[in-house]
Structures are given as structure tokens and as C-alpha cells.
Amino acid sequence: MKLHKNNQLNERESSILLALVECYIDKSIPISSKLIKNSFDFNISSATIRNTMALLEEKGYLTHLHTSGGRIPTDLGYRYYVNNLNYSNELDIELSNFIEYELKIINNNVDELLGATAIMLSKISKMFGVVSISGYQSSILTDIELISIQGNRVMLVLAMDTGLVKSIVLNLKINISDHLISKITKVLKESLVGCTLQEIQSTIIGRLSDAEMYDHELVQILVNDRFNYFNIDSNNSIYTSPSNVLLKHPEFQNITRYQKILPALDKTYLSEHFNQNFTNEVDKTLIGSENGDKILYDCSIVTSHFDLGKVKGRIGIIGPKRIPYLYIQNLLNKFTEVINNAY
């Protein structure tokens, strides 16, 4: 976007821009000077508002869909609005109590809590809910099981102190008896339970090398591919809600525009996008082109950072750029507060 050399705003320009963005968020139609005049207490004429809107468009904050139509905010206009919001932690007390009650019911483990958060956040906000976490490699292994499926197939089940359970099917070249599986399981429990995944990755050889069954194919599979089996992949580090909630918004009722963003709602994509764009421990919002990928140019991502000690992360929503930013940020802050106090 090419900006006017002097894109600083005076008080009148700022007030009219903030009013226009707020009006557009509410009504989802291009905003005219007459509509601003009738909706806000400006002691100036519609003509003056119209001239100011023209200057704002020249400076890159507004654009128009049709020559004779009203204006809508650009990404720069939305950014100015978000940066100048008077943030508070005020949220309807009934809604606030509801969030606390619902999440406290399911806070028996981190995995369930964060999964429920993504779903509940989406239902309340009418946006796509997402929770991204880091620190799972520091999770402590609380249990490990080997379960015989049939003949040469064995399921490895890992349970973490965060509540996450990971299971993988191992295919052996030879059949293995239930008795031998039990013996190997006992050794794994004695050697690995209580360690973090990082510790297991770096010390499993030393921990198991003296075991009677160390040379068995099953043990060797776990040792040789330890960075895969004793690891939490990106899909297990992110929780999402159903995406069809976005169809309720005018911006995505065109099925082609909706289908365009679907790849960006994939867990693998989101994990990479969050890791690249949300690196520090602060609340952050990305608007349209700020996402750096054309697939998300029609979207905003609003996030809040949480810290449970052993697990840190970010909860957020993805929706159209025309979202109620103040309400959404206050909503995220409430979820963050409840999550931070859960453990």
C-alpha cells in the first residue's frame, strides 16, 4: 500500500477514523459521512466529515468499493483503531462467571482444559478458536505402556503430567509374546517415568543399555527413533475449534472466500504461523496483510499469552478483519486469567 507522505492524523481525523471503524465493525456496510454524522456526536457538518474521510483515504487509512459509495477501513485504518483502543478488563459479569464455572469443571488436566478452551472461545466469540502451546518437550512422563495388538504389532502409549496422552503403533518384523511385552514395559517404566521428554531423548541409551532386553527389536526401535516417539509433534501442540462458525460472517458467506482460508486453519499451518509470528510473551494482534501470507489477508488474529509454568502458550481467535477488537481482547484476557489460575 502506498501511503501519503504525511500520514499523521490530527484530532479531527483521528476521531472520524475511529468512529468510522467502529461503525463499520457494527454495521458491515461501507460508511458514509451522513451515517457518521447521525451515529456520533460530531459538531461538524456532513460535508466536513466527507472531506476528512477523503483525506484519510489519501493517507491510506480508508478505501472505497465504489466511487459513489461509503468508505471502509484499510489494514492501516484497522491498525490505528486497535492501537488507540482504550483497553480495559471489563467483561459482562454473567459471562465472566460462566467462563470460570465451565472451565473449572474440566481443569483436571491441561490437555482437556486447552482443548475445551478453543471450543468454548469459538462458541462465545462466534470466531475460530485456537490455542497454541510450547514447552511440551519439558513435560514429564508419568506412565508408559506397551499394548499387544496382534502378532507383530504393538501400541506405545505415553502419558504426560500435562494430561496429554500420545499413542503410536509399532510394526515389528517378528511376533512378540505378551509375557515379553510385560517385561519390556516394566523396564521402560523403571527407567523413563519421571523424566522429561527432552531427558529421555538425550539419555535413553544410557538408561536402557544395561537392560536384559536392550537388544530386542522393540527396544531398539524406541532407542533409534527416540526423537520421533518421545516427542510432541506440532499437531499435538495446537487445539482448534470447528471452522464453519466463520460462515456466519458476511465476509465468508461467499463459499469461495471461505474455502480460500481453510488451509490456514489447518493445525500444521497454524502451528508454523504462530511459531513464526508470536514469539514473545505479550498479547498480539495481526491484521490482514500483517499476517504475511495472502491466504490470511482477509483475516485478523487476536491473541493473549498464558503461562502455566510447565506449559506456556497463546489463545486466540481468527475472524474477519471487521471484528469487535475490544470485546475480543477482553474475552481472551478472561480466558487467560482462568487458565493461569487453573494450576
| DSSP secondary structure of 10-37 | -HHHHHHHHHHHHHHHHH-SPBPHHHHH
pLDDT band at residue 108 under the 50/70/90 scheme: low
Placement of cell 510473551 in the chain: 281
Per-residue pLDDT at 9 exceeds 50:
yes
pTM of the model: 0.81
Q: Say what the pLDDT of residue 204 is.
A: 93
pLDDT band at residue 223 under the 50/70/90 scheme: very high
Name the average pLDDT for the chain.
89
For residue 73, the cross-strand partners are: 62
Q: What percent of the chain has pLDDT over 90?
A: 64
Q: Say what the pLDDT of residue 135 is.
A: 64
Residue of higher predicted confidence among 190 and 69:
190
Q: Say what the pLDDT of residue 4 is.
A: 40
Instruction: State the average pLDDT over residues 164-189.
Output: 90
Nearest Cα neighbor of 309 from 53, 138, 82, 109 is 138
Placement of cell 483515504 in the chain: 57
Nearest Cα neighbor of 247 from 274, 235, 265 is 265
Instruction: State the average pLDDT over residues 215-225.
Output: 92
Q: Say what the pLDDT of residue 308 is.
A: 78
Q: In what order do the strands lie in the sheet with 284-287?
A: 238-240, 128-134, 312-320, 299-307, 284-287
Window from 169-173, 232-236, 265-269, 288-292 with minimum mean pLDDT: 232-236
Helices (H) and strands (E) in the chain, counts: 13, 10
- Give the CATH number of domain 140-231: 3.30.390.60
Q: Say what the pLDDT of residue 3 is.
A: 37
Numbered ranges of CATH 3.30.390.60 in the chain = 140-231
Q: Say what the pLDDT of residue 109 is.
A: 74
DSSP character string of 310-342: S-EEEEEEEEESSS-HHHHHHHHHHHHHHHHT-
Measured in degrees and rounded to the nearest 5, phi and psi for residue 321 equal -65, -25
Is 11-83 a CATH 2.60.40.420 domain?
no
Residue of higher predicted confidence among 110 and 205:
205
Nearest Cα neighbor of 130 from 24, 310, 261, 3 is 261
Q: Say what the pLDDT of residue 236 is.
A: 64
Q: Say what the pLDDT of residue 106 is.
A: 79
Whole-angstrom distance, CA of residue 9 vs CA of residue 21: 15
Numbered ranges of CATH 3.30.450.40 in the chain = 93-136+235-340
CB–CB of 118/241 below 8 Å?
Answer: yes
pLDDT band at residue 134 under the 50/70/90 scheme: confident
Residue of higher predicted confidence among 90 and 209:
209
DSSP character string of 86-101: -------HHHHHHHHH
SS3 content of the chain, % helix, strand, coil (to 5): 50, 20, 30
H/E stretch holding 150 reads: strand 141-150
- C-alpha cell recorded at residue 332: 481472551
| Sign, Cα dihedral of 170, 173, 179, 183 | negative
- Give the CATH number of domain 93-136+235-340: 3.30.450.40
Q: Say what the pLDDT of residue 164 is.
A: 78
Q: Say what the pLDDT of residue 234 is.
A: 59
Q: Say what the pLDDT of residue 144 is.
A: 95
Numbered ranges of CATH 1.10.10.10 in the chain = 11-83
Q: Say what the pLDDT of residue 59 is.
A: 94
Q: What percent of the chain has pLDDT over 70?
A: 94
Nearest Cα neighbor of 178 from 205, 162, 154 is 154
Placement of cell 501442540 in the chain: 237
pLDDT band at residue 341 under the 50/70/90 scheme: confident
